[in-house]
Structure 1
Amino acid sequence: MKIGIDARLYGPKHTGIGRYVQELVSQLIPLSPKDQFIIFGDPKLLSDLESFSNVTIVPLKTPIYSLAEQLINPFIFYSHHLDLLHVPHFNAPLLYFKKTIITIHDLIKHLSTGPDTTTLPSWQYRIKHLAYRFLISRNLKTSTAIITPSHYWKNYLITQLKVPSAKIFVTYEAVNAGLKPVDTPDKTLLKKYSLKKPYIIYTGNLYPHKNVNLLINAVNSFNANHSLNLKLGIIAGRSAFHKRVTKSDAIVPLGYVPDQDLPHIYAQALALVQPSLIEGFGLTGLEAMKLKTPVVSSNATCLPEVYGQAALYFDPYDQQDLEEKISWIVKEHDLRQRLVDRGLSHVTQFSWTKTARQTLKAYKYAFK
Structure 2
Amino acid sequence: MVIGVDIRDLKLAKTGQKTTLEELCKQFRLMEGPTYQFHFFDTSLPIYTGRNKFMLMLEHIRQQLWKQIMLPYKAWSKQCDIVYCNDYFAPYFHFGYKTVQVFHDAFFYEYPQYCNPIWLQLFKRIAVPAARRSAFIITPTEYAKQRVHHFTKIPLEKIVAIHQAPKTIEPGTAAKNESIKIAWLPTNQNIPYLLHVGVFEKRKNIPTLLQAFKQLKESGYPHQLVLVGKGNGKMNSDDTQNILATIEALGLTNQVVMPGYIPDEQLGLVYEHASLYVFPSINEGFGIPILEAFQHNLPVLVANNTCLPEVGGDAVVPFNPYEATDMVKKISLVLNDPALQASMKEKGRARLQAFNWEKTATQLLAVFEQAIRK
2:53: which partner in 1?
none
CA distance in 1, matches of 2:241, 2:179: 30
What is the deviation of 1:10? Answer: 3.3
Structure 1 residues 188 and 41: CA distance shift in structure 2, 3 A: closer
Q: 2:272 aligns with which of 254, 264, 267?
A: 267
Paired residues of 1:198 and 1:270 also in contact (CA < 8 A): yes
| Structure 2 residue 204 is matched with structure 1 residue 199 | no
1:54: which partner in 2?
none
1:172: which partner in 2?
163
What is the deviation of 1:361? Answer: 1.2
My pick for the range that moved more, 4-13 or 138-147, is: 4-13
Paired residues of 1:63 and 1:69 also in contact (CA < 8 A): no
CA distance in 1, matches of 2:46, 2:155: 33
Letter in structure 1 aligned against 2:196: Y
| Structure 2 residue 251 is matched with structure 1 residue 253 | no
CA distance in 1, matches of 2:352, 2:6: 28
Q: 1:220 aligns with which of 210, 214, 218?
A: 214
What is the deviation of 1:297? Answer: 0.5
Q: State how 1:342-353 maps to structure 2 within 5 Å.
A: 342-353=347-358
What is the deviation of 1:11? Answer: 7.8
2:31: which partner in 1?
31
2:153: which partner in 1?
162
CA distance in 2, matches of 1:83, 1:62: 28
1:230: which partner in 2?
223
Letter in structure 1 aligned against 2:87: H
- SS of 1:317's equivalent? coil
What is the deviation of 1:354? Answer: 0.4
Alpha-carbon RMSD across the aligned residues, in angstroms, is 2.7
1:362: which partner in 2?
367
What is the deviation of 1:15? Answer: 2.4
Paired residues of 2:109 and 2:151 also in contact (CA < 8 A): no
What is the deviation of 1:157? Answer: 2.6
1:147: which partner in 2?
138
Q: State how 1:280-295 maps to structure 2 within 5 Å.
A: 280-295=285-300
1:51: which partner in 2?
none
- SS of 1:261's equivalent? helix
1:335: which partner in 2?
340
Paired residues of 1:70 and 1:94 also in contact (CA < 8 A): no
CA distance in 1, matches of 2:196, 2:88: 27
- SS of 2:3's equivalent? strand
Q: Count residues in correspondence.
A: 343
2:121: which partner in 1?
130
1:69: which partner in 2?
63
TM-score, scaled to structure 2: 0.83
- SS of 2:278's equivalent? strand
CA distance in 1, matches of 2:167, 2:228: 18
Unaligned runs of 5+ in 2: 50-58
| Structure 2 residue 315 is matched with structure 1 residue 310 | yes
Letter in structure 2 aligned against 1:31: M
Q: Name the structure with the higher helix share.
A: 2
Letter in structure 2 aligned against 1:221: Q
Paired residues of 2:15 and 2:199 also in contact (CA < 8 A): no
Deviations for 1:185-224, whole angstroms, at most 9, x for unmatched residues? 8699453445652210000011111111110110011212
CA distance in 2, matches of 1:307, 1:318: 20
Letter in structure 2 aligned against 1:33: G
CA distance in 2, matches of 1:362, 1:332: 44
TM-score, scaled to structure 1: 0.85
What is the deviation of 1:94? Answer: 3.4
My pick for the range that moved more, 347-356 or 260-269, is: 260-269
Letter in structure 2 aligned against 1:41: D
